[in-house]
C-alpha cells in the first residue's frame, strides 16, 4: 500500500517521538508499504522518511516550491520522487491522490489540518481509505476527547468514530490500515444537516 504519513515538522520535539516514528517507517517497509509524505527533512516527517529509507522503501515527498525558496522547512534530500507544487492545497491533493491509507503521527497545526481535512472528506464519503492515528505517548488523547464530546452533544454523529482508528500499538495500527474491508457508509448515515 501507499501510506501517507502526516506528522510534525518541528525538530525540537522529544527524541522519543523521533525514534518511534523511525521504527514505524521501517515497519511500513517490512510490511510491503511505501511512503507518501510532506517532504520535510526534520521532525516526524524526517523520522518517517529515514525509517523507510533505512529499510529500502520507496518515498514520495510533496512539498511546495516556496518551502525551498523561502527556507520554510528543511526538505528531505533522499526522496525517490520529490513533487513540488505551488500551493499548500495542491500539496494536500497530491498527497491524498497518491495514498491508499493515512497515518497521523504527533504533530502541530499543519498535521491537525491534514487530519481534519482527510476525516471530513471521509465523512462526506469522498473517499473510504483507512485513517489511523498513531497515539504515541497519548499525544492525541485530548483531541480524541474533543471529538467524543462533540459526538455526545450531537455535533458529530456517533458512528463517525468508525471513520478512524486511534491506537498506540503499532501492530494494531497496521492491522487497521491494511484491512481493506472498510465498511462503506452513506453521507446521510454520517452527517446531520
Ligand atoms: P506541523 O504539524 O505544524 O509541524 O506541520 C506539518 C506539515 O504540515 C508541515 O510540512 C506544514 O508545512 C504542513 N502544513 C501546514 N499547514 C498546511 C496546510 N494548510 N496544508 C498542507 N500542509 C500544511
pLDDT digits (tens, 9 = 90+) for 70-116: 989 999 999 999 999 999 999 999 999 999 999 999 999 999 999 99
pLDDT tens digits, 43-69: 999 999 999 999 999 999 999 999 989
Backbone angles phi, psi at 126, to 5 degrees: -85, -15
Half-sphere exposure (Cβ direction) of 62: Cα atoms closer than 13 Å: 21
- Which residues does ligand 1 sit against, CB inside 6 Å? 8-10, 38, 40, 73, 88, 91-92, 107-111, 113-114
Task: Output the pTM of the full model.
Answer: 0.95
Tell me which DSSP letter residue 45 carries: H
Q: Residue 49 is placed in which grid cell?
A: 522518511
Task: Tell which atom from ligand 1 comes closest to the C-alpha of 40.
Answer: 10
Helix, coil or strand: residue 57: coil
Q: Using CB atoms within 10 Å of the CB of residue 187, give its burial: 0 to 12 exposed, 13 to 18 middle, 19+ buried.
A: exposed
Reduce the DSSP state of residue 35 to 3 states and report it.
Answer: strand
Centre of ligand 1 to C-alpha 164, Å, is 20
Identify the pLDDT of residue 143. Answer: 98
- Closest residue by Cα to atom 17, ligand 1, is 110
Amino acid at each position: 500500500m501507499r501510506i501517507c504519513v502526516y506528522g510534525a515538522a518541528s525538530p525540537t520535539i522529544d527524541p522519543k517521538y523521533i525514534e518511534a516514528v523511525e521504527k514505524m517507517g521501517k515497519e511500513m517497509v517490512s510490511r510491503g508499504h511505501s511512503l507518501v509524505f510532506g517532504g520535510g527533512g526534520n521532525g516526524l516527517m524526517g523520522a518517517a522518511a529515514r525509517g523507510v529509507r533505512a529499510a529500502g522503501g520507496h518515498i514520495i515527498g510533496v512539498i511546495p516550491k516556496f518551502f525551498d525558496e523561502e527556507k520554510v522547512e528543511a526538505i528531505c534530500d533522499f526522496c525517490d520522487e520529490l513533487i513540488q507544487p505551488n500551493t499548500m492545497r495542491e500539496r494536500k491533493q497530491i498527497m491524498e491522490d497518491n495514498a491508499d491509507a493515512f497515518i497521523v503521527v504527533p504533530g502541530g497545526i499543519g498535521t491537525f489540518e491534514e487530519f481534519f481535512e482527510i476525516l471530513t472528506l471521509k465523512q462526506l464519503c469522498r473517499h473510504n481509505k483507512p485513517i489511523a492515528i498513531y497515539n504515541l505517548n497519548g499525544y492525541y488523547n485530548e483531541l480524541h476527547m474533543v471529538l467524543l464530546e462533540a459526538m455526545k452533544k450531537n455535533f458529530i454523529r456517533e458512528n463517525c468514530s468508525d471513520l478512524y482508528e486511534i491506537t498506540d500499538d503499532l501492530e494494531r495500527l497496521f492491522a487497521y490500515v491494511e484491512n481493506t474491508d472498510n465498511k462503506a457508509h452513506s453521507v446521510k448515515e454520517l452527517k446531520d444537516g
